[in-house]
Structure 1
Amino acid sequence: MLELQQQQWGKDYFFTSPSEKVIKHYRLAGHQAIKLSLLAGDKLAISSQDKAQNSELIVLNSNGKSAPELLDNRPPVPAVTIKQQLEQTGAAAEQLRGQLANWQIDSSHLEQVLSISGSETANLTALNELNVIIVAAGAKMTVDQQSPVTEIDIKVTYVEPNNDSLPEPLGPIKSELRIPLASAKTYEVQKGEWIQIIDVHGKQCSDFVAFDKQALEQGIEVGLDATATRTVMGLSNPVPGLNSRFLGTDLLSMVEVVQDTVGRHDSFLLACTPKYYDDNGYFGHISCTENFNRVLAPFGIAPRAGWPAINLFFNTAIDDSGAVFMDEPWSRAGDYVLFRADRDLICASSACPDDIDPANGWQPTDIHVRIYGAEQNFPRAIAHRTTSEELPRMTKASGFHNRTSELTKKFIDYAGYWVANEYDGWGANAEYLACRERVAVLDLSALRKFEVVGPDAVAFLQYVLTQNVSRMAIGEIAHSAICLETGGMIDDGTIFRMGEQAYRWICGAEYTGVWMREKAEQKGFKVSIRNATEQLDNLAVQGPKSRELLSEIVWTSDSQPSVEKLKWFHFTIGRLSGPSGIPVMISRTGYTGELGYEVWCHPDDSPAVWDAVWQAGQAYDIAPMGFDALDILRIEAGLSMADHEFTHEITPFEAGTGFSVPLDSKQEDFIGRDALARQAPASRHKLMGMLLEGGDPAAHGDHVYSGRFPVGIVTSATYSPLMGKQLAMVRVAPDFAHIGKRLEVGKLDGQQKRLAGELVKLPFYDPKRGKLLS
């Protein structure tokens, strides 16, 4: 009977796409190398994302000898960028040396490489079985250069039909199993081992249950409990980082979520049940619940009418009316979740058979599970995608992370980087006070850095930025917005003028670089836009003692302004501790409303830069600062933040950054200019401050009321330790945007509870900017 049931619900029952040639995508980061194995007829496409990064290919035959003719008929040449990288010191050079040694590559191989220009898309075909090592190499970039080593896109079209899109193993695999569609399997893991659950083809749900093995041996069922997890973690689902544990019914951790490339799962609903299919008229349809009951029975686990599971990749949500809805999963082929077992477990995973709704993209497919040994060590990471079709980018750590991680475990994912939200032994209030009264240091390396260089750099930036960059001097910095044609903001940042036709754009969003390259291509600007984020870390040194501190440790040549003489929104190039020290760029910028600077350096130098600042700062009672304290500081200073004060629907004038849109002095057209010019000043909503009475806090998204109806919204709010008041930044309708106007913030349903307050001009702190400009 079991045999018949398995056969009935096998692969032939469900709709499946025909096998076809598979295209695998790889993203090769700058300074990195990858080795691929190709068969005769396999096709390899290589391109540079920014049209400027060259790549070099080492082609090997089956005997490990150089054989570039097996892949392309262009003449081989001696390696240039590989040798440049190998000749340097630092992490990238050391890693490449190790990789080449493991692949048994010696100096003779480097004399016959295929060189691919960044300006071309190379389409190559393997003439025989071969291995190819692709390297995106180059010398590391110093702070005064604008030549980052950037990403390469690789696509391989394999001749042999194969629909598997399994990611590369994270390490040595202890064991693995395939869960065919419409089935479930059990497996055991020991405490400390890692469980990688992979969506093989994409858009496939996998329900996951786990039980404490030792408890089961005593006849007690202690399983994963989503309600206990939500209660203790305070999240709908755990995520890698601080709140990462799935708990059991005993309120103790069962597994930790270590990596997640999807970020969209369900733990509110049951795994699919016979009742669900019966109620929809699909009588006798197989379900995850039946499959779990069958495979868990040998362990003495009681059957359920519906299994409360962690429904990985299941895309559900709750709308404003309280209705639960579902849609196709967000997961792509090869996406996964990585758990670490916090006790010995009996686990079961399913490949959900639901084909009557979008839960599995209408086409159930397989799930793959890998187990890694407890001796392995994998970093915590969350996936980000700049565009919907690209490969996931996992959370990174800056060059300062090995210093900050010694001082705290409280890290959050901010824009794809791990950043501290507060430090052990200090806390947000103490860190805030250190910045206002002495000096504090903050890792801001998550900001994106783009090098904009070329004969049309000025004309291009005049077109895409609201700021008038043509009036900037070399060494000057300006704030600017980037707008859509509607006038809504997609980003803001600071623009550094490095040379006559050379700029450095610092902003918050990775996508801004993609958007800028698209605009340059559409309009035919002769300009290069290259992402230098991974080759430029920046450390904010902020507070009234910041100038004294940096003056002690930064040397500048006679041709560069000293730290003492550096003007607000200008930068200088110098070195730490003398003319032969670490190269750094110092900018008089910050996000705190205090006198402050940022120190820019290569990530290889970040630990030494931190140590120098930290050691010199002891005389000033320096403190490390996290993002919780930064939020208090920037709200007091009335500074705008993405997704708070501005969105793609909010213009710079409504976001409090109208000073970066000089419509009168800038004659050139720029994206969004017409929309901004059409907006009558008297009709604009206005960003203002609101001093609240009492101790109850406002929150982002609360409505601001005059009587029964809302007239504005809270964009940011905090408690000010120095002012002793609850503060709110609010965007208010023009009819009510008057200093001294009394309004109310609505809490609960907006009507039952109100927080009274008075509108004031921003900023709350240092309204004349005297400390900032001192």
Structure 2
Amino acid sequence: MIGTELSDPLARRRYQGLKSSRPMAVDVRWGEAGRISVRAGSILSITNVDGGGVAWVTTLGPEARQFSAAALDLGAAAEVTLDPESFDAREMAGLAASRDSSLEGATGCKIFDAETEAGELFVTKVLEDATLFVIAPVSREFLSVGGGGRFAVRVQPPAGGSSDVILPDPLGKVVDEWRVSRGTALAYELKRGQFVQVIDVEGQQCSDFMAMRASSLDAGVERFIDSTVSRTMARNAYPSPGLHDKFFDQDIRPLLSVRQDTVGRHDTFALACTARGYEERGFPGHLNCSDNISAAFDPYGIQARKAWPAINFFFNSWIDQADHRIASDEAWSRPGDHVVMEALTDLVCVSTACPDDVDPINGWNPTDIHVRIYEEDSSITHSVSWRANPEDAEQLTRHSAFHPRTSKLTTSFHVARSLWMPVHFDATGTVEEYWACKKAATIQDMSGLRKFDVVGPDAVELLQHCMTRDVAKLSQHRGFYALMCDARGSVLDDGTLFRLEDTAFRWCCGSDNSALHLREQAEALGLDVRVLSLGDRVQNLAIQGPKSRDILREVVFTQPSRPALDNLKWFGFTVARLHDRDGPMFMLCRTGFTGELGYEIFCDRNDAVEIWDGLMAAGEKHGLTPMGSAALDPLRLEAGLMIAGAEFGPDSDAMESGLGFAVDFKKPAFIGREALERNATAPRRKLVGLKFTGMEAPHHGDPIFVGREQVGVVTSGAMSHELGHAIAMARVAIECAETGGTLEVGRLDGHMKRLPATVVDLPFIDPKREKARA
């Protein structure tokens, strides 16, 4: 065995001789308790990113049974009793239970209050090794009055002396673990059902991985990960957890399944580095992973190879779309990033710590890799890493609060920002869900939507400056669709703005960059306003279809001071409760993204399951059907509803994206107005609808031609089940945008196949939005 085995349990957490000790980071969102390991002498800094949010800190030392802030140097800071009902306390409760304790009587210290300014920093010293929790409690009335917050936690290990690096906390019960020193390889056995975790200790370090089927080795045959077979079975260049997550051998039998991936960029094309590769570049005798793999595999009787195929974790490579060459650059991985895989059969594996110091892939500085093996019944969540912004600490995708119900109905999920969302449901499928929305009603988990509260005396002034609609005309309990544009008139984000109170608004949108943009503008203008992130604390459902109002009538209770359900007009909202005055609270909005009559519900994650159950029970006799994201795409396309990354983005302005209806030139100045006014009078491109005679739908990015000349591009395409043929939205030259004109969509590189189409007005169905306004 080549590598360093760590048998001492205490040594499994700290390792000597590393070149640097980098800060650890975690972001804590509203209603959460962020965990991070700290050691004596470290400097703890916590930034109130949004401002205005309350934050508590508490710790649990190695021998302690009760939570307190004893491990931190807080001086005379006021002690508070923690309220587990105000945040997600499950992890803390589990840790307390492992010490034969509970959260009852747990204390901490308040470090931020509701008056704290955005960007304010709290810094203290860690007095002893401990597990630290930073808690962002919620207010109980946030659905009606607003709230939110986010805190960035950074821990700088002590300077000088030991430069230990603390590895990420184990994900389950560790069976064994080893250190793979830089420039070496380690072979090990993995039993069916066990998990292997490959950890990049210091960041930007690549690790080749190969696995052999043990039963085949016993029969004298070598069967191992085959990249070509794996890509073919996955129907994608990069395996992705939750969608196409398996590695196969030459007999098309699965070997491993990816369970967690905190990076998302790995090489699945090239070989492990070879002696020949270094020789031809002028580095004879250079250490290489292929020789290291052969040496590590030798005790198992595996044939040596001069060049080993491998999956190279953390190796940042891609295929250039212009010339189809394999390109690479510095790895994206950061300290503690990892990949976790489940063994689907007994395996003999090898992991390397790549010795390449002549390329950017390891940042020209090879370091160590760490390997952990977990037992079969480990409850490691299925997730990938997600960062709203590059500077944020990573967070693993997780299930929405409705998952206990949706997971019983489907196993098909995809990533929507930080959450897993259903694609379709097993009992119905996409087409049936589509028709349910047209003829009865559907319920869809839309919790991946971003939600921000904009509160303060200058909230209106900020939103007037940043939004394309006249915010001053918006009444309480009303909302509208609006855009945020840059100075070029390009759409930064779109969404719905609701007015909760005179100085409190809720912005429901698609991108976390909305909040960054609003905060930057508020600072530049010197405005007294806070932009608060609601994070995943607020979950939401879409109830859409002609029977949606009938279903809601059976479960919605509103106080006399709030608008009644039947009085809500399009884009109106109310604050309601389920069944009666004692039921869970939710915000009910007459909005949606299907073109049908519909509503959206925003609720506390703690109430999500009860609200789902109440709606499903009331909707049974009305044909209420769970719907996934696949059915939503043709519905929104028929309704002529645009999405980011398709109809609008940085390469087109709001007018070219078909969003001129959401731009109010009568209001005072707003960002992008000059560019939009200029482009409105002399447009060069226009968003149009395309109607096809057949059922073959074009794809996003397909070129549009008149003869040999490309005149536009498809932004979205789908099969319309109601119309009986394919439809698409496309951005075309203004000279070719006349209704009734004929264009051709190019397939097979745009030349070998053409799909004739007729230019039509948008939307394709219900041009006056009579269904939604019903």
Task: Give the TM-score taking structure 1 as reference length.
Answer: 0.92
How far residue 638 of structure 1 moved from its aligned partner, in angstroms, is 0.5
1:113 alignment partner, one of 109, 115, 118 = 109
**1:346 — aligned with what?**
348
Task: Tell me, in whole angstroms, the C-alpha distance in 2 between the residues paired with 1:536 and 1:577.
Answer: 20
The DSSP-based 3-state class of the residue aligned with 1:92 is coil
The DSSP-based 3-state class of the residue aligned with 2:231 is helix
Alignment of 1:648-727 (within 5 A): 648-663=650-665, 665-667=666-668, 669-727=669-727
For the 8 Å contact 2:33–2:89, the answer to whether it is kept is no
Letter aligned with residue 599 of structure 2 = Y
CA 1:129–1:172: 2 relative to 1, 3 Å: closer
Letter aligned with residue 605 of structure 1 = D
> How many equivalent residue pairs?
751
CA 1:560–1:232: 2 relative to 1, 3 Å: same
Q: Deviations over 1:644-671 (max 9, x none)?
A: 00112221111111111101x211x222
Alignment of 1:470-509 (within 5 A): 470-509=472-511
**1:189 — aligned with what?**
190
Pairwise CA RMSD of aligned residues? 2.4
Task: Tell me, in whole angstroms, the C-alpha distance in 2 between the residues paired with 1:672 and 1:339.
Answer: 48
**2:772 — aligned with what?**
772
Give the % identical residues.
Answer: 38
How far residue 519 of structure 1 moved from its aligned partner, in angstroms, is 2.3
How far residue 559 of structure 1 moved from its aligned partner, in angstroms, is 2.2
The DSSP-based 3-state class of the residue aligned with 1:368 is strand
The DSSP-based 3-state class of the residue aligned with 1:232 is helix
Alignment of 1:298-447 (within 5 A): 298-319=299-320, 320-447=322-449
How far residue 575 of structure 1 moved from its aligned partner, in angstroms, is 1.1
How far residue 328 of structure 1 moved from its aligned partner, in angstroms, is 1.3
1:223 paired with 2:224, answer yes
1:451 paired with 2:453, answer yes
Task: Tell me, in whole angstroms, the C-alpha distance in 2 between the residues paired with 1:38 and 1:400.
Answer: 37
Q: Deviations over 1:699-753 (max 9, x none)?
A: 1100111111111110000001110011010111111111101111111121221
Alignment of 1:38-117 (within 5 A): 38-39=39-40, 41-58=41-58, 71-72=72-73, 74-79=75-80, 82=82, 85-86=83-84, 88=85, 92-93=88-89, 96-100=92-96, 110=107, 113=109, 115-117=111-113
Q: Deviations over 1:476-502 (max 9, x none)?
A: 111111112221112110000001010
CA 1:690–1:489: 2 relative to 1, 3 Å: same
CA 1:38–1:281: 2 relative to 1, 3 Å: closer
How far residue 641 of structure 1 moved from its aligned partner, in angstroms, is 0.6
**1:521 — aligned with what?**
523
Letter aligned with residue 428 of structure 1 = T
Task: Tell me, in whole angstroms, the C-alpha distance in 1 between the residues paired with 2:127 and 2:111.
Answer: 18
How far residue 140 of structure 1 moved from its aligned partner, in angstroms, is 4.8
Task: Give the TM-score taking structure 2 as reference length.
Answer: 0.92
Structure 1, unaligned runs of 5 or more:
4-16
After the TM superposition, which of the residue ranges 61-70 and 513-522 deviates more from structure 2? 61-70
Task: Tell me, in whole angstroms, the C-alpha distance in 2 between the residues paired with 1:47 and 1:370.
Answer: 33
**1:286 — aligned with what?**
287
1:148 paired with 2:148, answer yes
CA 1:152–1:537: 2 relative to 1, 3 Å: same
How far residue 173 of structure 1 moved from its aligned partner, in angstroms, is 1.7
CA 1:133–1:588: 2 relative to 1, 3 Å: closer
**2:181 — aligned with what?**
180
How far residue 142 of structure 1 moved from its aligned partner, in angstroms, is 4.8
For the 8 Å contact 2:206–2:354, the answer to whether it is kept is yes
The DSSP-based 3-state class of the residue aligned with 2:735 is coil
For the 8 Å contact 1:21–1:157, the answer to whether it is kept is yes
Task: Tell me, in whole angstroms, the C-alpha distance in 2 between the residues paired with 1:137 and 1:723.
Answer: 50
How far residue 630 of structure 1 moved from its aligned partner, in angstroms, is 0.1
For the 8 Å contact 2:194–2:376, the answer to whether it is kept is yes
CA 1:362–1:643: 2 relative to 1, 3 Å: same
For the 8 Å contact 1:453–1:502, the answer to whether it is kept is yes
1:541 paired with 2:539, answer no
CA 1:676–1:213: 2 relative to 1, 3 Å: same
After the TM superposition, which of the residue ranges 202-211 and 130-139 deviates more from structure 2? 130-139
Letter aligned with residue 594 of structure 1 = E
**2:261 — aligned with what?**
260
CA 1:718–1:95: 2 relative to 1, 3 Å: same
How far residue 127 of structure 1 moved from its aligned partner, in angstroms, is 5.7
Task: Tell me, in whole angstroms, the C-alpha distance in 2 between the residues paired with 1:211 and 1:461.
Answer: 59
For the 8 Å contact 2:190–2:346, the answer to whether it is kept is yes
Task: Tell me, in whole angstroms, the C-alpha distance in 1 between the residues paired with 2:386 and 2:234.
Answer: 22
Task: Tell me, in whole angstroms, the C-alpha distance in 2 between the residues paired with 1:94 and 1:161.
Answer: 34
For the 8 Å contact 1:28–1:154, the answer to whether it is kept is no
Q: Deviations over 1:18-69 (max 9, x none)?
A: 9455422233344315364432x43221222212223333468898599968
Q: Deviations over 1:413-449 (max 9, x none)?
A: 1222111111112111110000011111111111011
**2:14 — aligned with what?**
none
**1:12 — aligned with what?**
none
Task: Tell me, in whole angstroms, the C-alpha distance in 2 between the residues paired with 1:211 and 1:69.
Answer: 50
For the 8 Å contact 2:209–2:351, the answer to whether it is kept is yes
Task: Tell me, in whole angstroms, the C-alpha distance in 1 between the residues paired with 2:347 and 2:263.
Answer: 24
For the 8 Å contact 1:44–1:124, the answer to whether it is kept is yes
Q: Deviations over 1:176-229 (max 9, x none)?
A: 111111110101111111111111111111110001112211211111111111
Task: Tell me, in whole angstroms, the C-alpha distance in 2 between the residues paired with 1:213 and 1:21.
Answer: 39
**2:13 — aligned with what?**
none
CA 1:171–1:280: 2 relative to 1, 3 Å: same
CA 1:45–1:56: 2 relative to 1, 3 Å: same
Letter aligned with residue 697 of structure 2 = P
After the TM superposition, which of the residue ranges 67-76 and 616-625 deviates more from structure 2? 67-76
CA 1:346–1:129: 2 relative to 1, 3 Å: closer
Letter aligned with residue 628 of structure 2 = G
Letter aligned with residue 420 of structure 2 = W
For the 8 Å contact 1:49–1:153, the answer to whether it is kept is no
**2:470 — aligned with what?**
468
1:578 paired with 2:574, answer no
Task: Tell me, in whole angstroms, the C-alpha distance in 1 between the residues paired with 2:521 and 2:35.
Answer: 31
Letter aligned with residue 467 of structure 1 = R
Letter aligned with residue 770 of structure 1 = E
For the 8 Å contact 1:223–1:248, the answer to whether it is kept is yes
How far residue 311 of structure 1 moved from its aligned partner, in angstroms, is 1.2
Letter aligned with residue 287 of structure 1 = N
Task: Tell me, in whole angstroms, the C-alpha distance in 1 between the residues paired with 2:361 and 2:239.
Answer: 21
For the 8 Å contact 1:573–1:584, the answer to whether it is kept is yes
After the TM superposition, which of the residue ranges 219-228 and 121-130 deviates more from structure 2? 121-130
For the 8 Å contact 1:205–1:313, the answer to whether it is kept is yes
Task: Tell me, in whole angstroms, the C-alpha distance in 2 between the residues paired with 1:556 and 1:105.
Answer: 38
How far residue 305 of structure 1 moved from its aligned partner, in angstroms, is 2.1
Task: Tell me, in whole angstroms, the C-alpha distance in 2 between the residues paired with 1:725 and 1:131.
Answer: 59
For the 8 Å contact 1:442–1:541, the answer to whether it is kept is yes
Letter aligned with residue 520 of structure 1 = A
Task: Tell me, in whole angstroms, the C-alpha distance in 1 between the residues paired with 2:552 and 2:733.
Answer: 44
The DSSP-based 3-state class of the residue aligned with 2:771 is coil
**2:728 — aligned with what?**
728
For the 8 Å contact 1:163–1:201, the answer to whether it is kept is no
Letter aligned with residue 708 of structure 2 = R
Task: Tell me, in whole angstroms, the C-alpha distance in 2 between the residues paired with 1:452 and 1:151.
Answer: 17
Task: Tell me, in whole angstroms, the C-alpha distance in 2 between the residues paired with 1:272 and 1:677.
Answer: 56
After the TM superposition, which of the residue ranges 711-720 and 600-609 deviates more from structure 2? 600-609
For the 8 Å contact 1:191–1:344, the answer to whether it is kept is yes
**2:209 — aligned with what?**
208
**1:245 — aligned with what?**
246
Task: Tell me, in whole angstroms, the C-alpha distance in 1 between the residues paired with 2:381 and 2:62.
Answer: 35
Task: Tell me, in whole angstroms, the C-alpha distance in 1 between the residues paired with 2:328 and 2:436.
Answer: 48
Structure 2, unaligned runs of 5 or more:
4-16
For the 8 Å contact 2:35–2:131, the answer to whether it is kept is no
How far residue 70 of structure 1 moved from its aligned partner, in angstroms, is 7.4
CA 1:169–1:609: 2 relative to 1, 3 Å: same
Letter aligned with residue 286 of structure 1 = L
